[in-house]
Structure 1
Amino acid sequence: SIFPAAIARKRTNWDNVPLLDVQQMYVEGSLESCIRVLIHVNTPKPQLEIFHAYLRQAKSLRPDWSLAQISTRASAAVSPHRC
């Protein structure tokens, strides 16, 4: 079994789309007792400056948003732009 949101994220340009599976199903190896929260925010910030918080074992839900990748994105977002 696999979560439907995990399949959707594999589509082109869907990797930064917040997705929740609203009816949780049993998937072997998935987290137990995980509370998911989705907050919508309107901001002028570009996508590269938005960082999502995954606490404790929930970090395994999005390994593609690892600390190393966030650090790389943060460095790119704050580096001076050349004119």
Structure 2
Amino acid sequence: MSSFDRIVGDIAGALLLGTIAVSSADSSPAKGRGDTPKPTRTYLPVEDLPSRAPPMAPEERAKVMQELTALRERQKMLAAPNGN
């Protein structure tokens, strides 16, 4: 065993014993956990739902349905093998 290995081993042992002595002197590791702040909520609570949008007027719904039907027909024409 080289002198470097012996020194490193002695330092590691001293650090380990010092850590044990400090942590067991007057408190346990579990005792210190109560001092940490509680995390804030980062998610939407279940009880706070967003408000619902009012329903569409019948005229607006008819216009949207007409536009969707026109788009579907256009997609059918473009997807046809000969463009027909």
TM-score bracket for this pair, using the shorter chain length:
under 0.3
> What's the TM-score once normalised by structure 1's chain length?
0.21
Greater C-alpha Rg: 2
**Structure of greater relative contact order (alpha carbons < 8 Å, 6+ residues apart):** 1
Structure in which a larger fraction of residues adopt helix: 2
> What's the TM-score once normalised by structure 2's chain length?
0.20
